[in-house]
Amino acid sequence: MRFKDIEGQTIMANKLTEIIDSGRVSHAQLFLGDSTSGSLALAIAYAQYLNCEHRQHYDTAAGHPDALRADSCGECPSCKKYEQLVHSDLHLYFPTTTTDSVKSNPCCDEFQQDFRKFLTEYRQQGTLEDWYAFMQTDNKQGQLRERDAESMVNTMALTTYENGYKVLIIWMAEKMSAVVANKILKILEEPTRRTLIILVAEHSDKMLSTILSRAQLVSIPRVHGSDEMTFGEVQVRAENRDYFAQMYVTWMRQLFKLNMASLSAWVDEIAGLGREQQKQFLMFAQESVRECFLCNLAGMPLAMDFGDAKFNSSFPAMITEHNAEGLNNAFAECIHAIERNAYSKIALMELSFRISKLLQRRKPAAPKS
Ligand SMILES: [Zn+2]
């Protein structure tokens, strides 16, 4: 997979090739993006570029600012094996389940050929549901299993077959139980030479914090053009998203200054939306805070776009380990109150005061003298 073959992710591709060219490749990374983001294809393209023997660099100065700055060559021996997904230092893990052909003890080893066939047929953009349909699972939910974790640990212990990096890609990493996750903590935190582990996931809230804290976050935006985006469990329609982002930016700015007149007008506007819309907005806001916190933690630029460059670059720093949990709880309680038909204006005003206080609490309390 070359970056040029992934639609709508040029900016992300440029960030990724820059990480590799600058030699700042972290041993364990989490590619987080919804099913429209092409995150698995990006992970494979990233691994291919990392191992390419003749990386291509393009002169972007003259061209469109969104043009690709670099890509793998597609021609060298390593690229050729990557294009066929047969490179001996590329190891793929994914959820499996029992099927007609694998009646017991499923694990990734049993499905390697099927999975490569699936990736090829779906141009590496298939969803988890597509994969289940491909395996003909009869609606059974797949998992990443203990045997898979053992295989990951063993694979990491092997020497690389070829000259480049050994790469483990773990697709749908949220399908790992705590037991399985614990088995791979050691390989996540103890980098061995020329190895890369890429976890690919859709929902950070379904992942264990032990895993999240050990992987560098690469937050992958959705591809523009698909008309719905997922925020946690809610689907937010694209036209709502721009409005929500705008209302969110306005709100957060008001909460810094605590301007009561404009805050009150803001509360009136949100309270005037239907209850379901209010809930969706709050879920959007909650997810935004989570995203800002994760980016802040990982020291990565924010991938989500609030439609305001200044806000995009300055706001994530306001969400720290001192207030992230409090903010998350405040949103959750307000959502719950709105679901229980609380009076929206009061619930939103109370939430505003709570957030305002929490934003000021982003640094540890000064010791009392
Ligand atoms: Zn190449």
Is 246 in contact with 197 (CB distance < 8 Å)? Answer: no
What ranges make up the beta strands (E) of 147-258? Answer: 166-171, 195-201, 216-219, 228-231, 234-237
How many A from CA of 78 to the centre of ligand 1?
6
Q: Which of 33, 11, 14 is nearest to 217 (CA)?
A: 33
Specify whether domain 3-219 bears CATH 3.40.50.300.
Answer: yes
How many A from CA of 241 to the centre of ligand 1?
39
How many A from CA of 26 to the centre of ligand 1?
21
- How far apart, in whole angstroms, are the C-alpha atoms of residue 77 and residue 202? 32
Angle at 39 between CA 37 and CA 41, to 5 degrees: 110
Q: Which of 210, 130, 144, 139 is nearest to 172 (CA)?
A: 144
- Range 349-352 contact pairs with CB under 8 angstroms and sequence separation of 24 or more: 349/263, 349/264, 349/267, 351/282, 352/251, 352/254, 352/255, 352/263, 352/267
How many A from CA of 329 to the centre of ligand 1?
48
Contacts of 194 (CB under 8 A, 6+ apart): 160, 164, 165, 166
Our CA dihedral for 339, 340, 343, 346, rounded to 10 degrees, sits at -80
pLDDT, position 152: 95
How many A from CA of 82 to the centre of ligand 1?
9
Q: How many residues does the chain have?
A: 369
How many A from CA of 166 to the centre of ligand 1?
16
pLDDT, position 228: 43
Kindly state the average pLDDT of the residues 282-292.
91
Tokens of 134: 């491909």
How many A from CA of 219 to the centre of ligand 1?
26
Side chain identity, residue 352? S
pLDDT, position 53: 96
Place of tokens 């719905």: 228
Burial 117-127 (b: 16+ CB within 10 A, else e): ebbeeeebbbe
Please state whether beta strands 216-219 and 56-57 pair in parallel, antiparallel, or not at all (unpaired). Answer: unpaired
Residue 8 has pLDDT above 90, yes or no: no
How many A from CA of 39 to the centre of ligand 1?
21
How many A from CA of 74 to the centre of ligand 1?
5
Tokens of 45: 């393209």
3 state DSSP class of 31: strand
Residue 144 has pLDDT above 90, yes or no: yes
How many A from CA of 29 to the centre of ligand 1?
22
Domain boundaries, the chain: 3-219, 228-360
What pLDDT digit, counting tens, does each position of 234-275 carry?
445 556 788 889 999 999 999 988 788 889 999 999 998 878
How many A from CA of 51 to the centre of ligand 1?
7
How many A from CA of 112 to the centre of ligand 1?
24
How many A from CA of 58 to the centre of ligand 1?
15
How many A from CA of 197 to the centre of ligand 1?
20
- How far apart, in whole angstroms, are the C-alpha atoms of residue 266 and residue 254? 9
Q: What is the mean pLDDT of the chain?
A: 87
State the chain's maximal CA–CA distance in angstroms.
70
pLDDT, position 39: 95
pLDDT, position 61: 61
How many A from CA of 46 to the centre of ligand 1?
12
pLDDT, position 34: 85
Quote the radius of gyration of the chain (alpha carbons, Å): 22
What pLDDT digit, counting tens, does each position of 80-97 carry?
999 999 999 999 999 999
Is 165 in contact with 50 (CB distance < 8 Å)? Answer: yes
Residue 186 has pLDDT above 50, yes or no: yes
Is 237 in contact with 280 (CB distance < 8 Å)? Answer: no
* Lowest mean per-residue pLDDT among 44-53, 86-95, 205-214: 205-214
How many A from CA of 81 to the centre of ligand 1?
10
Q: Which of 190, 200, 145, 143 is nearest to 168 (CA)?
A: 200
What pLDDT digit, counting tens, does each position of 58-81 carry?
876 655 556 899 999 999 999 999
Place of tokens 């992934």: 6
Is 223 in contact with 33 (CB distance < 8 Å)? Answer: no
pLDDT, position 63: 56
Residue 138 has pLDDT above 80, yes or no: no
The percent of residues above 70 in pLDDT, for the chain, comes to 92
How many A from CA of 56 to the centre of ligand 1?
8
How many A from CA of 84 to the centre of ligand 1?
13
- How far apart, in whole angstroms, are the C-alpha atoms of residue 307 and residue 43? 27
Residue 108 has pLDDT above 50, yes or no: yes
What pLDDT digit, counting tens, does each position of 311-358 carry?
988 899 999 989 999 999 999 999 999 888 888 999 999 999 999 999
Tokens of 126: 């298939």
Side chain identity, residue 117? K
Is 208 in contact with 181 (CB distance < 8 Å)? Answer: yes
Tokens of 349: 């005003």
Residue 229 has pLDDT above 50, yes or no: no
How many A from CA of 120 to the centre of ligand 1?
19
Q: Which of 192, 167, 1 is nearest to 88 (CA)?
A: 167
